[in-house]
Amino acid sequence: MKIKKTLILCFLFCGLFLQGIAQESKIEKKVISELGHSTFINFNKTNSYKIGEVHSFFEEELKIKSNDELKKINTKTDRLSFTHYTYQHYYNNIKVEHGIYKVHTKDGLLKRANGEFYTVKIASTTATISAKRAFEILLTKINAKAYAWENEDNPLRGDYQKPEGELVILPIKNSQKTGFEYKLVYKYDIYTFIPFDRAIYFVDANSGTIVTKEQVMCSSDADTMYSGQRNVETQGAANGFPNGFRLFDATRGNGIHTRNNQGALNNNLGNAIDFIDADDNWTAAEWNNAGQDQAALDAHWGLEMTYDYFSIVHKRNSYDENGARINAFVHVIFPNFGGTTPNNAQWTGTNIVFGDGDGTMFSPFTSLDVCAHEFGHAVDEAEFSSNLVYQDESGALNEGLSDIWGACVVSMAAPEKNRWFAGEDITLNAYALRDMSDPNNLDLPDTYEGTFWATGPNDFGGVHTNSSVLNHWFFLLVEGSATTDGINDNGDTFTVNGIGIFDAEQIAYRMQTEYLTSGSTYAFARENAISAATDLFGACSPQVVATQNAFYAVGVGDESEIDEAVAFHFQDAQGNIKNEFCDGETIFLNGNATIQGAQNKYYMDVWRVNNDGTTTWLASQGSSNSTSPGWFNGSPGVIDITDLYANDPDGSVIFQNGVTYRVKLAINSDECGWFPLEHDFTMHGSDIDFHFEDTQKEKDDTFCLGEDVFLNGSDNFEVDEYFLTLYKLNSSGTYTWIVGTGWIQGNLENPVNVTEIFENLQGNDAVTFHPRTYAVKLSLESPGCGQVSVQKDFTYVDGNLSIAYHYEDKDGNKDDTFCLGEDVYLNGSDSIEVDEIFMSLWILNGSGNYDWIVGTDWIPSSLEDPINIIEIFENLPGNNAVVFQANRTYAVKLSIKDPVCGQLWLQQSFTLEECCLLDAPTNVHAQGNTVFWNPVPGAAGYIVESTDVWLPSCNCNWPISIAPIQTSNTSITLPLGFNNCTTIEVKAICSNGSTSAPSDLICVIYGHSLNNRATITSISPNPNKGMMNVKIVADTDIKDVSLKIHNFNGHQIQNFEQLKLDKGVLDLNLDLRSKLKQGLYIFIFTIGNETITKRVIIE
């Protein structure tokens, strides 16, 4: 056994220095961060500082000066009788941001200490500008449209108050990242509704500049969307809600309230309403509707289960430990300057809000693990919790812990789900968002600073990417490394013995709530997790060894130097090492590798492992030490435990088929005291196996629908009958029984056509296969172990779903009708990935059938980008070149090669019409009743006509409408009398008689004095998304103009008065994204006595 005997160690790892300590009598181990601000200390177990000597410890080890003070801000005693003291660092009576130091005591002595203490060097601690002035400057820099403190009635605000500014000293890494600079700053908690964000801003108290910011906002029976029928607590007339039943749970803390935000922005929760059911029977028939209201049932149940998990497992009352109400809002959209998105869920600092997903990448964000994830952020931000800064490594730990709580809640509340897949229920284009068991499979890192590790400023330093290292650590801690390749990106080979989720979750929770501080890194998370495991299970426990080795496996720190003091394994009568035995087989425990202590005795007992993971004690008798049952004299060697426990004097234990047993063995290690280890073995029948293959005997598990699937079980022992059972795999990961065959006479020497067998069963038992995943369970009678079974999946793929395309124009607008001369693009990006394609062109004849025209060769293409089919077919060589015709319908048959189903094809049609592609006339204006415009190249003539849209500025005594007038000129005199007026537009005429788009509207008033002194030179771009530039050039004596914006129905939307011109020029940038929806708008400019209109399209 490798036990480190020297207490004062010297080694370097992960940027941490473990250094010798002058106070050898009181300090066992001290770890200092590379920059010197973070420390982790283990005190001598028997000769430590006393509680009353804590300030002596600060002076001797942290080297605090006269200007420094560590003020105690919290004291908490936990279930293990540890008392934890939290201190805040002050310098010259000014708080040092992130200067949190924790001291952990037991039995009146200091056991551990950790946190951040900064050696402050600052020229002055006197601010030269006030907090009020710094706040005013900050708001001009943020320039948000709406702040939380401006709306007291918005539920999103919670207990948030307008910040007054706190003067603090902020440590900032220098540019070389070799130390810290210290800034005197004001600290402001800024919560904005538009844009929706919450962050801590630090403003220089002397210059008013923003130094940095830290993100705060991370993101009855009921038929739930993702978890089946579950019981939820509701509120009805009996407990205070008279109008039916709503999703309000008054049984947990101060309540869980789930409401409908009706598709409003997440900065506007004031109009949220209750989900109400008339009879408290929340069925899918009622709630699985187009509005996806069923998702609310998932959110409500998920938060109830998350509350229960923290209450039952960690004795925590809601996220703040004080029973805080949990407010949840469903059907929320999330704003940003680029538009809105339904793809999010957030802990906002006061509420948990859920988006509906876009239906393409995501479904509603209300799955159980997402609920637990967001609740986990709330736990982290609770007072005197870790409060991990949402940036870089501390932010990655924050995200990783939230994923860990998602896995733990799923394990408790929905064990049928895969707890290691984060977001699998809501993700539509991948099997999960994160895979804690194999992060690399989703391009996420499983090793600290290894492959896929994120660097740079994006995503707050890669918090959602680098979190997977902590995720994977937790997976290894729970499950062990048996299912991994046992080597990390550093080339280190590792072995981790999993300790199960019950112990692992206690370690993670204690690490987060008692040890981590706001600036913790992965290196210090390792030290804190080892401390948590030591507190809970003892210094030499398997849990401590596994905690350290799991961090080593993900590239953080060294592996444990404590070998397994009790090294034993199971073997059969021939000495073969194994953990699985056939019923009736003799099982031996081989403990020859153990290292016995001076007491020269050991302890052993046996337990049954239940289906839910708990254990039941069975026996500890059969001992060679008759006075102390369970205790054995000497060292463990090779023991026939089958015989030992079958002849136990207090009750025979016969190992049964299908049961897992756990043997616990402990010896007295001289270094670690009584050191336990446990191993499991399972009893079952003989191993059997099979695989699926196709008609060509190629091994596979994916087949094309309609193809025969064969089961090859020829490697099994000889049988004369077998039984097949068919199941279907559900989206939840569970299986549903479909049908069984009964015992079929025959052997498995040749492959069996399972498709044919199940399709030809009698009557209603006959199976019709569909595109989905099935499972076949093969059952055999083993000569020695009775009936044994094995189950495997295969998938039927519908080839028609592998190929999909549509037509679009050059701008990406989807359509099936185009103008002759216009390019037509085939967009096949929704098809499976291919290397080449084949296309043939067909034309619709008068009888409704299609005639073949020409085909291409196989063309190299992945279909990732749209293909210009007009260009391809017009440029075929020689006589194959196609001349497209107007007013004809064509079809393209697209062929691809599917790896499962072979060559597939899909045919779709499009129509080419004779269109007018001329531009609309421009610079349309009037002098008197004569209208002028610029010529349009290629126009055969023009049409001038009145419109149904009447400009509000077009006022006269007798408004009239005139019939369309056609002309070949670029001007025309309208038949208007005195004080007549009309609103007209001009169109260009193409050679085929069709017309262009209309010009901008213009008002023609006869008998009024009009001065054509202004020209709107541009509104660009047009169309646009609400942001545009308007430029007006006018006579220099015109000083201002006005602008009114009307929708297509004539209603005024916006009014701008007295827009100032500079020497006759107005250059105006407009941002109307929050005012104008998609559609056509009329911009009416009044320039002197002139009125000019423009049409603007908002996309």
Confidence of residue 71 (pLDDT cuts 50, 70, 90): very high
Number of domains in the chain: 7
What local confidence, expressed as pLDDT, does residue 820 receive? 85
**Does the structure show a pLDDT above 80 at 768?**
yes
Mean pLDDT of 307-315: 88
What local confidence, expressed as pLDDT, does residue 491 receive? 93
Same domain (yes/no): 150, 86:
no
Residue 1092 included in any domain: yes
What local confidence, expressed as pLDDT, does residue 668 receive? 67
Residue 444 included in any domain: no
What local confidence, expressed as pLDDT, does residue 1064 receive? 74
Name the domain boundary from 882, 913, 944.
Answer: 913
**Does the structure show a pLDDT above 90 at 101?**
yes
pLDDT in tens, 538-575: 777 788 989 999 999 999 999 887 754 456 788 888 88
Residue 357 CA to residue 428 CA, distance in Å, equals 10
Same domain (yes/no): 1018, 1030:
yes
> Is residue 17 within 8 Å of 9, Cβ to Cβ?
no
Residue 167 CA to residue 383 CA, distance in Å, equals 20
What local confidence, expressed as pLDDT, does residue 12 receive? 30
Which residue, among 925, 979, 941, has the nearest Cα to 1087 in the 3D structure?
A: 925
Name the domain boundary from 193, 215, 237.
Answer: 215
CATH of the domain at 1033: 2.60.40.1930
> Is residue 223 within 8 Å of 283, Cβ to Cβ?
yes
Same domain (yes/no): 699, 776:
yes
DSSP state, 998?
Answer: -
Helix (H, G, I), strand (E, B) or coil at 1045: strand
Confidence of residue 1036 (pLDDT cuts 50, 70, 90): low
Catalytic residue (choose from 37, 373, 464, 684):
464
Which of 332-346, 424-438, 748-762, 822-836 is the least confident region? 332-346
Contact residues for 200 (Cβ-Cβ < 8 A; gap 6+)? 187, 188, 189, 190, 213, 214, 216
Q: SS3 sequence, 1052-1079?
A: EEEEEEEEECECCEEEEEEECCCCCCCE
What local confidence, expressed as pLDDT, does residue 22 receive? 39
Alpha helices in 363-457 (DSSP H): 368-381, 392-413
CATH of the domain at 136: 3.10.450
> Is residue 11 within 8 Å of 32, Cβ to Cβ?
no
DSSP state, 404?
Answer: H
Residue 723 included in any domain: yes
Same domain (yes/no): 157, 176:
yes
The domain in which residue 1036 lies consists of 1011-1099
Mean pLDDT of 1048-1076: 83
Catalytic residue (choose from 374, 424, 527, 707):
374
Q: SS3 sequence, 72-95?
A: EEEEEECCCCCEEEEEEEEECCEE
Question: By percentage, how much of the chain surpasses pLDDT 90?
Answer: 35
Same domain (yes/no): 27, 109:
yes
Same domain (yes/no): 148, 187:
yes
Find the length of the chain.
1099
**Does the structure show a pLDDT above 80 at 1001?**
yes
> Is residue 681 within 8 Å of 661, Cβ to Cβ?
yes
Mean pLDDT of 305-319: 89
Residue 676 included in any domain: yes
Confidence of residue 685 (pLDDT cuts 50, 70, 90): low
Question: By percentage, how much of the chain surpasses pLDDT 70?
Answer: 88
Which of 384-388, 394-398, 524-528 is the least confident region? 384-388
Clarify whether 257 is annotated catalytic: no
Clarify whether 373 is annotated catalytic: no
**Does the structure show a pLDDT above 70 at 117?**
yes
Residue 294 included in any domain: no
Which amino acid is it at 134?
A: A
Same domain (yes/no): 676, 587:
yes
What local confidence, expressed as pLDDT, does residue 7 receive? 26
Which residue, among 690, 795, 792, 686, has the nearest Cα to 750 in the 3D structure?
A: 690
> Does residue 1021 have a cis peptide bond before it, meaning omega lies within 30 degrees of 0?
yes
Helix axes 542-553, 458-479, angle to 10 degrees: 140
What local confidence, expressed as pLDDT, does residue 177 receive? 76
Residue 367 CA to residue 295 CA, distance in Å, equals 8
Report for 29-38, 519-528, 715-724, 725-734: range of highest mean pLDDT = 519-528
What local confidence, expressed as pLDDT, does residue 717 receive? 61
Mean pLDDT of 778-797: 78
pLDDT in tens, 362-378: 899 999 999 999 999 88
- Mean of pLDDT over the chain: 84
Same domain (yes/no): 985, 1024:
no
Same domain (yes/no): 813, 778:
no
Residue 267 CA to residue 340 CA, distance in Å, equals 12
> Is residue 401 within 8 Å of 395, Cβ to Cβ?
no
Contact residues for 1069 (Cβ-Cβ < 8 A; gap 6+)? 1027, 1028, 1029
Same domain (yes/no): 100, 21:
yes
CATH of the domain at 958: 2.60.40.10
Which residue, among 1012, 970, 1003, has the nearest Cα to 987 in the 3D structure?
A: 970
Helix (H, G, I), strand (E, B) or coil at 995: strand
Residue 1098 CA to residue 1078 CA, distance in Å, equals 5
Which of 178-182, 348-352, 687-691, 927-931 is the least confident region? 687-691
Residue 587 included in any domain: yes
Confidence of residue 58 (pLDDT cuts 50, 70, 90): very high
> Is residue 229 within 8 Å of 219, Cβ to Cβ?
no
**Does the structure show a pLDDT above 60 at 195?**
yes
Which of 16-20, 531-535, 857-861 is the least confident region? 16-20
Residue 581 included in any domain: yes
> Does residue 975 have a cis peptide bond before it, meaning omega lies within 30 degrees of 0?
no
Name the domain boundary from 215, 248, 281.
Answer: 215
**Does the structure show a pLDDT above 60 at 804?**
yes
Backbone angles phi, psi at 1086, to 5 degrees: -110, 115
Report for 686-695, 718-727, 1001-1010: range of highest mean pLDDT = 718-727
**Does the structure show a pLDDT above 50 at 3?**
no
Same domain (yes/no): 100, 178:
no
Residue 1095 included in any domain: yes
CATH of the domain at 827: 2.60.40
Confidence of residue 219 (pLDDT cuts 50, 70, 90): very low
Which residue, among 646, 386, 402, 404, has the nearest Cα to 516 in the 3D structure?
A: 386
Same domain (yes/no): 610, 700:
no
Which of 30-34, 457-461, 1085-1089 is the least confident region? 1085-1089
